[in-house]
Structure 1
């Protein structure tokens, strides 16, 4: 992926690398985690000052109108530094949704999103939904001059610090019906909205939302009525690509840590990095990192393709990078030995993060099924490389 950088993207990548080196220290991460902080507010402000939060915001709304590849550069740095800033939630997924479907009034939020004063979370996960975006039980029924929202969202990253929530709800039909989902922009402090916060295994802050007769004005509708699923799929595919870039950054970081450890850890009178068997395992980790970058490029190339082809490319990349990430994480912990599992060492936390990225929006098993289901919708010649990758992985 680095070979495809334009001069401007190279400058951005250099800035992100410096930022992570100076402000992504593991000691600060542990301090914030122990204090219960959802993210580093100083880092969020710095990211806003450097313009990164405005990358996906259209130029007509004061942003840069940058490509997905530009936002992936920042996401990769977030993964490398194990950062928890809500960049993907607000500056990728929510920004893409507002840019495509927001009214003039709703798009006024872009100003606050760019300067970091407004954060938005997208409430996707529902109990028993198993990552299917059309599996929505939350309902919005007409009520007076607006809608009444009722239901539950069981897994909402970054909601605890969000000012607004984008909530998919069923406005007609039954569960699973793809043509009856609408999106609503909901203030996080709305009466009738209850939030329960908890932490995921990688210390990300997650929330459960309960909506009991939450009354919304008609202006809360984001996009056309009943036609929110296509918008949601588009934004989620961009979010998946960003998480995959984050995974690539994390894999590179933990591989470098492991290589450095092998060069200094001594056993039997010599550094363990001199053992050929361990060298081979490091080579396998490096191959997994490079393979993941190739699949990330496939995902990026597919983001501008027709919807079925886009979803197929994203599914292929998500399946393979998820598995490569887990492989690299497990190898890193094992090559560190017992200390690799300790809370005091960053390696164990990178493994946890890679595991949660694999699970986010559907793990490798789910994405393989999704890839196969989309096969009939995409000409075979269009995605032959992606199909070959997934089929080889299944055989392995």
Structure 2
């Protein structure tokens, strides 16, 4: 099997890396986080119009380049290197992904807007009581004339503070944790009855608690078949998990580079700490974790169309969750107390890796999913 990137994918990587190296140096990123909304909207627009990369992974029928998950992987690794607070996963992987899968007039109208940067989607699949169970929903959608009325609470909806649309699940039938009865809706963020409580996350991203209080939406807000959305949502989340693994890989590689540079400069007992064998061993361990993360990400991404997709995704996410925590802790320990200060980049990479570790399933969740799969195979 050929594991080399195509010429187009290589150009995507190089173009984005050059742009982010100019746009997302540490000081510029810090200034962005202090802005209203925690970001610079001009950056997202530049990614869409000047670089034209938001359509790289999307079908040509909607104005994209006709790529796929590998293209998203290439881009996300570069976003990870820069710890860029751009909503690629919620917007392109989840938002556009859901529209492309369900098709219809809604997709034809909105996917080109996502590619052009005008439409931004915040995805809310999780609720406070549900942990990582995508079927554990208290949010309901009841038929109301030709449309729907939504009530409920979605937790930690990344990009919701500046989103134009919200992609959310709601129960149109069945009991709270039943697989059947889960439906998928795309709601305008400014719809009447949609209430947000916005806040910054520890990694710099903006998120919201989103409340639906008798929010009325039209019939076209329903994506796909009523009550049968859970398999699609699970697929979307697995795609998002692999994109986050790619982001973690980029962040891990860059954090290793920063730690290596620091070890060459920081002196103790008259020589650079990088000359001490214990530090050299730690740096090698960090390098190995980053390399393994890249390999596992590629493996999981290539298997997204596999019948046993869940197994491959959980193997990759479990390994990378564990490796990201270890590498981040080693980096902070090597830097010492300064490693967790806001003035040093290393601490910000550590924070982002810590958040990725919990997004779309933590270590325990994915180990549990692997165990459940193995037990099913054995039975």
TM-score (norm 2): 0.96
Residue of structure 2 in register with 1:12 after alignment: 12
Find the residue that maps to 2:227 and give its secondary structure: coil
C-alpha separation in 2, matches of 1:115 and 1:374: 40
Alpha-carbon offset, residue 378 of structure 1 = 5.3
Residue of structure 2 in register with 1:354 after alignment: 353
Residue of structure 2 in register with 1:341 after alignment: 340
Aligned-pair Cα RMSD in Å: 1.7
C-alpha separation in 2, matches of 1:73 and 1:222: 28
Residue of structure 1 in register with 2:129 after alignment: 128
Find the residue that maps to 2:233 and give its secondary structure: helix
Q: Which stretch of structure 1 is more off in the superposition, 183-192 or 140-149?
A: 140-149
C-alpha separation in 2, matches of 1:379 and 1:163: 46
Cα distance, 1:42–1:62 mapped onto 2, change above 3 Å = same
Equivalent residues of 2:80, 2:251 under 8 A apart: yes
Equivalent residues of 1:124, 1:155 under 8 A apart: no
C-alpha separation in 2, matches of 1:226 and 1:331: 46
Alpha-carbon offset, residue 3 of structure 1 = 5.0
C-alpha separation in 2, matches of 1:21 and 1:35: 20
Find the residue that maps to 2:105 and give its secondary structure: coil
Deviations 1:154-186 (A, max 9, x none): 221110110011110000010111011001110
Residue of structure 2 in register with 1:33 after alignment: 33
Equivalent residues of 1:119, 1:161 under 8 A apart: yes
Alpha-carbon offset, residue 379 of structure 1 = 8.2
C-alpha separation in 2, matches of 1:233 and 1:320: 20
Residue of structure 2 in register with 1:146 after alignment: 147
Alpha-carbon offset, residue 57 of structure 1 = 2.5
Deviations 1:107-151 (A, max 9, x none): 311121111111011111201101111111101111111211111
Residue of structure 2 in register with 1:384 after alignment: none
C-alpha separation in 2, matches of 1:130 and 1:158: 20
Alpha-carbon offset, residue 4 of structure 1 = 2.6
Residue of structure 1 in register with 2:77 after alignment: 76
Residue of structure 2 in register with 1:286 after alignment: 287
C-alpha separation in 1, matches of 2:322 and 2:349: 14
Residue of structure 2 in register with 1:214 after alignment: 215
Q: Which runs of 5+ in 1 are unaligned?
A: 381-396
1:288-303 correspondence runs (5 A) = 288-303=289-304
Alpha-carbon offset, residue 103 of structure 1 = 1.8
Residue of structure 2 in register with 1:162 after alignment: 163
Residue of structure 2 in register with 1:388 after alignment: none
C-alpha separation in 2, matches of 1:289 and 1:243: 14
Alpha-carbon offset, residue 105 of structure 1 = 3.3
Q: Which runs of 5+ in 2 are unaligned?
A: none
C-alpha separation in 2, matches of 1:226 and 1:35: 40
C-alpha separation in 2, matches of 1:125 and 1:261: 39
Alpha-carbon offset, residue 296 of structure 1 = 0.6
1:102 aligns with 2:103: yes
Residue of structure 2 in register with 1:52 after alignment: 53
Alpha-carbon offset, residue 190 of structure 1 = 0.4
1:212-361 correspondence runs (5 A) = 212-306=213-307, 309-361=308-360
C-alpha separation in 1, matches of 2:92 and 2:157: 16
Find the residue that maps to 2:72 and give its secondary structure: helix
C-alpha separation in 2, matches of 1:289 and 1:372: 25
C-alpha separation in 2, matches of 1:66 and 1:96: 12
Alpha-carbon offset, residue 2 of structure 1 = 11
Count of residue correspondences: 378
Deviations 1:21-65 (A, max 9, x none): 221201011112223433222221221121211123221111112
Equivalent residues of 1:195, 1:208 under 8 A apart: yes
Deviations 1:192-218 (A, max 9, x none): 111110121112111011111111221
Alpha-carbon offset, residue 376 of structure 1 = 4.2
Equivalent residues of 2:70, 2:302 under 8 A apart: no
Equivalent residues of 1:183, 1:221 under 8 A apart: yes
Residue of structure 2 in register with 1:365 after alignment: 364
Find the residue that maps to 1:104 and give its secondary structure: helix
Cα distance, 1:55–1:376 mapped onto 2, change above 3 Å = farther
C-alpha separation in 1, matches of 2:302 and 2:57: 17
C-alpha separation in 2, matches of 1:243 and 1:213: 33
C-alpha separation in 1, matches of 2:175 and 2:373: 23
Equivalent residues of 1:170, 1:181 under 8 A apart: yes
Find the residue that maps to 2:104 and give its secondary structure: coil
Q: Which stretch of structure 1 is more off in the superposition, 96-105 or 166-175?
A: 96-105
